[in-house]
């Protein structure tokens, strides 16, 4: 490890892997955005983890909001559609 504060100290094992998804909520809202998952993870795993109540979406498009971050309660999700690669 290098000196504290050195830019080379960044953990290379952490990578951002954004996937675009569409979410429909119980109030009828359709939310388009992205979620960050690990490279070996599937989008569905975000929604089946029982110990996590919320998902975090970035670059959200919802009504008049564009590019926002939203925390979505999984109890209020009807369906999720990942964008095909």
pTM to 2 decimal places: 0.76
Structurally, the chain folds into a number of domains equal to 1
More confident residue, 5 or 31: 31
- In a domain? residue 9: no
Q: How confident is the model at residue 1 (pLDDT cuts 50, 70, 90)?
A: very low
What does the pLDDT read at residue 5?
52
Domain containing 62 equals 15-82
Both tokens assigned to 12: 């290379």
More confident residue, 77 or 2: 77
Q: Residues 9-35: pLDDT tens digits?
A: 555 556 779 999 999 999 999 999 999
2 has a pLDDT exceeding 50: no
Q: What is the CATH number of the domain that holds 72?
A: 2.30.30.100
Please state, in angstroms and as integers, the Cα–Cα distance from residue 24 to each residue in 17, 31, 45, 56, following that order.
22, 6, 17, 15
Q: Residue 2 domain-assigned?
A: no
In a domain, 3, yes or no: no
Task: Read off the pLDDT of residues 29-82 as tens digits, 9 standing for 90 and up.
Answer: 999 999 999 888 899 999 998 899 999 999 999 888 889 999 999 999 999 999
**Cα 55-57-26 angle, rounded to 5 deg:** 65
d(CA 7, CA 14): 14
């Amino acid at each position: 490890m290098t000196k504290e504060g050195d830019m080379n100290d960044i953990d290379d094992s952490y990578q951002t892997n954004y996937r675009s998804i569409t979410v429909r909520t119980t109030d009828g809202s359709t939310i388009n955005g992205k979620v960050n998952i690990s490279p070996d993870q599937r989008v569905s795993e975000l929604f089946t983890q029982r110990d996590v109540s919320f998902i975090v979406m970035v670059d959200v498009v919802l009504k008049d909001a564009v590019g926002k971050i939203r925390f979505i309660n999984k109890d209020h999700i009807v369906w999720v559609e990942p964008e095909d690669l």
